[in-house]
Amino acid sequence: MEKLSSNAEIHFIDTGNSDAILIIKDNKAALIDGGDNDDEALVSSYIKKQGISELEYVFATHPHADHIGGLDRVAKEIKINNLYVSNGEADTKSYRDFINEAANKGLYPSVPLLGSKFDLAGSTFEVLSVANTNDPNNNSIVLLYTNGNDKILLMGDAEKEIEQKLNIRDVDLLKVGHHGSHSSSSKPFIDKINPEYAVILVGEDNKYGHPHAEVVDRLQAMGSNIYATAESGTIMVATDGVNYTVNGKEA
């Protein structure tokens, strides 16, 4: 029996066709992305409802509004200790609002170094990609979250070009890149990482047709257990370092 202190929770918050992921371990918490502009109240209140008043880390994977739109409210209402952003400039209102609110709180975001590791109560985030291309999706901060023997790969919106460069094999859970778009989750990549579980953050009947059928088929062929926020709402994954429980409806 694993000791209780090794338990971690990964909350894939249902914000529709956008990303917001809260990870909690021993009352320490990290947030990866913050939903879209109209999700800001939802994301901030969800974090508070978990009893979290302080975030050890916030990773804004890349500057698209569907990943950083709600972070200005989070920065305003919840204490952030370390703020990380991707490479590249973004002259959008959503990004300016986020950066301005962070600055109001004395936060100065930095780009994490490739290969750098961040401790969260004995679990670890490792930065697998922090590219500097002309495509914000491919600049996504890609993170491997490890708790005990459990490995969770958080792809942001990184696409095939980045997948080819990642030095990673055999993960337990994949946060599917780019909401299940066929621009990500290539067959060689899925074959290489062989995820037991796959979580897709996606809005119901969204205009992009996410998740694309070939991605779902590819994951099913690999034998992955697939969960999507469109069907399940918020998905909560608990890991004790060895075993998983998933609170969601398998797709």
Q: Are 14 and 41 in contact (CB under 8 A)?
A: no
pLDDT at position 205 = 79
pLDDT tens track for 30-67: 999 999 999 999 999 999 999 999 999 999 999 999 99
C-alpha distances (whole Å) from 1 to each of 8, 122, 146, 242 are: 15, 18, 19, 10
Structure confidence at residue 207 as a pLDDT band (50, 70, 90): confident
Say whether pLDDT at 239 is over 60.
yes
Structure tokens at 41: 């109240």
How confident is the model over 215-237, as a mean pLDDT? 93
pLDDT at position 3 = 43
pLDDT at position 199 = 96
Q: What stretches of 32-132 show up as alpha helix (H) in DSSP?
A: 40-49, 65-68, 71-77, 93-104
pLDDT tens track for 58-114: 999 999 999 999 999 999 999 999 999 999 878 889 999 999 999 999 998 999 999
How confident is the model over 20-25, as a mean pLDDT? 98
Say whether pLDDT at 2 is over 60.
no
Q: Pairing state of beta strands 117-120 and 142-147? A: unpaired
Structure confidence at residue 6 as a pLDDT band (50, 70, 90): confident
Integer Cα distance of 233 and 201 in angstroms: 9
Q: What stretches of 174-224 show up as alpha helix (H) in DSSP?
A: 187-193, 213-222
pLDDT at position 76 = 95
Task: Please give the mean pLDDT across all residues of the chain.
Answer: 93
Structure tokens at 27: 């009352």
